[in-house]
Amino acid sequence: MIDRELSNKFQEMDKQAARLREAFSALTTAHQVFQGAGALRSISVSDQFDDDSIEATFNGVRIKFQMLLIFGADRRPRARAVCIHCHCTYGAPMQVLLGAFTFGSDGMTDLDPDVEGNFPRMDTDAPAIVLRYLEAAFAANKTL
């Protein structure tokens, strides 16, 4: 017999999954900013792939954001964006975890807040999120 509470939990995830994917896809809007007012035309951000991932590149450095559906501590549907540094070391392809953050269907992340105490949002802060993880990839290059 299926536990009713568990069934309800998964039904809620089913309802929220599309909104979580939509919030994740907001990272792709960073491309427009970088190509326009951001004046960082060397940065490219892909569209969302079928496997719920988005890639960003800058001068040969490539990172990948992979979205995973999760249940938060409050048992509510959330998404986890895992950022991976994709590179080659001695000719062998490597993928190294740079970090991760969670967000809700409203796009609010759990990344560190700004000086005013505002947490970054997927829809309004996508370029800053991408730059944050590109910077982490450059820092990781020092240790390769």
Q: What tens digit of pLDDT does each residue of 29-87 get?
A: 999 999 998 889 999 999 999 999 999 999 999 999 999 999 998 889 999 999 999 98
**Residue 81, phi then psi, degrees to nearest 5:** -100, 115
Q: What is the mean pLDDT of residues 100-112?
A: 96
How many residues are given for the chain? 144
The DSSP secondary structure of 28-49, one letter per residue, reads GGHHHHHHTTT--TTEEEPPPP
What's the rounded Cα separation, in Å, for the pair 57 and 62? 4
Q: What is the pLDDT of residue 52?
A: 96
How many domains would you assign to the chain? 1
Closest CA to 28 of 111, 129, 106, 99: 129
What share of the chain has pLDDT > 90, as a percent?
81
Q: What is the pLDDT of residue 31?
A: 95
| Residue 11 belongs to domain spanning | 4-141
Q: What is the pLDDT of residue 144?
A: 62
